Structure 1
Amino acid sequence: MNKYRSQSKYCYPETDVLINKFDEKDQEKLNKLETTFTTRRIYQLYNKPITGSFGLKHLQKIHRFIFQDVYSFAGEFREEQISKGKTTFAHPLHIQTYGMEIFKELKNERFLKDLNKEKIVERMSYFLGEVNILHPFREGNGRVQREFFRVLAMKNGFELDWSKVNQSEMIEASISSVNDSNAFKNIFMKNIVNEQPDIQLIKQFQSLKKSNELEL
């Protein structure tokens, strides 16, 4: 039984292996392929992030980019209910409406503009908890969330280094975030590199945004 506890329409019949572009039915081999190709894509995003508008479509663009080599459903919202452990994520029918509410709130907060480190950590913790419970994709939500919030932090002059946080810390915080909006505060305090907003980082983000707009 896989981590989502039931047979999935996204899996090969009578297996827990996600249908993939390599047609690889061995889970260990698929894990290695997925790690190889997604790591390469994430590295590319570090050099040229997808800036987007920090909404649902932005999440989809990031997911599509990271998983484009592995899954045909890259960038698509899941169409089945999933859970992990005791945590049940948003029903697929509610992903659009719930997601729009989350990102409208983020927009109303001016995408966390002009906040100091303590305050931006608090609000990013809240929003990461909300996006995590949304869990809009069948696979790869964690990687998409980390890249999304890395770019959001960059927009506001903060550099996130996710290598400072291990997987067990993220899992523990994810579980706690269901009932605690501050569950990710220690995570962000640990992985924010700079104490004060970096003007050069903000300018770098703005130049990337203009470059992306020109390409469109």
Structure 2
Amino acid sequence: MLKNLIGLDSAESLSIAEADLVNARIIQLMDSANNYLPTSRDFKELSAIHFHLFQDIYDWAGKLRTIDMRRGDGDFFAPCLHIETNLSYLSDQLAEKNFLQIRDRSTFIRELTHFYDDLNWIHPFREGNGRTQRHFWSRVSADAGWILDWRPIHNELDEASRRAREDKDFEMLRNVFEKVVAKTMT
């Protein structure tokens, strides 16, 4: 049970409250008039997104995790001592790929799959990485001319991410992005 700002002491209650509060914050971010977050494509942007989404729930919103962790019996995510270095490297790689300014859909999906997996492995926050990452990649993709529609995938992303991270099997994650990359913006 994670210590939280709303005083809940059951995982089920926290999950319900968290979903409602985060959804309200996502709606705020989708209103472009209120979108004041940086577009630095690095930890500064990720941190600002995470803080915005989870500020009502956790006092550590927007801060790097300080413990090594894994999901269930799976492999560990990146060691917490190396998160900043790994994020810096990922940001550099993203800049080298011109922030995914790619016109070819299959190439865009291949690159997005790679970067999504890398950021998932880094797992910079104690909780809320998936929601933060989806918003981050939606922003990167929109600037590159692509729209990401996360609705068609339901619960497929968790398993696809696990397979990519632990088994180095990227097929399911690529298939997820085939469904998510909805269309190009013109």
Shift of 1:31: 1.2
Match of 2:116 in 1: 128
Which amino acid counterpart does residue 190 of structure 1 have in structure 2? Answer: K
Shift of 1:115: 3.0
Which amino acid counterpart does residue 123 of structure 1 have in structure 2? Answer: E
Correspondent of 2:21 among 31, 37, 40: 37
Work out whether 1:28 is the aligned partner of 2:12: yes
Shift of 1:51: 5.0
Match of 2:79 in 1: 91
CA contact (8 A) 1:20 1:72 kept: yes
Q: What secondary structure does 1:19 align onto? A: coil
Note the alpha carbon deviations across 1:91-115, whole angstroms, 9 max, x for none.
Answer: 1100000111111001011101133
CA contact (8 A) 1:78 1:136 kept: yes
Note the alpha carbon deviations across 1:18-67, whole angstroms, 9 max, x for none.
Answer: 11111211221111111110011112222235351111111101000000
Correspondent of 2:98 among 107, 110, 121: 110
> 25-34 vs 46-55, which deviates more?
46-55
CA contact (8 A) 1:51 1:151 kept: no
Match of 1:161 in 2: 149
Q: CA RMSD in A?
A: 1.4
Correspondent of 2:58 among 71, 88, 92: 71
Match of 1:137 in 2: 125
Which amino acid counterpart does residue 106 of structure 2 have in structure 1? Answer: E
Structure 2 unaligned blocks of 5 or more:
none
Q: Work out the CA distance in 2 between the residues paired with 1:78 and 1:22.
A: 20
Q: Work out the CA distance in 2 between the residues paired with 1:115 and 1:100.
A: 26
Which amino acid counterpart does residue 132 of structure 1 have in structure 2? Answer: N
Q: Work out the CA distance in 1 between the residues paired with 2:149 and 2:102.
A: 20
TM-score by length of 1: 0.79
Correspondent of 1:46 among 30, 37, 40: 30
CA contact (8 A) 1:121 1:188 kept: yes
Correspondent of 2:47 among 40, 60, 65: 60
CA contact (8 A) 1:128 1:184 kept: no
Note the alpha carbon deviations across 1:197-216, whole angstroms, 9 max, x for none.
Answer: 323xxxxxxxxxxxxxxxxx
Q: What secondary structure does 1:159 align onto? A: strand
Match of 1:205 in 2: none
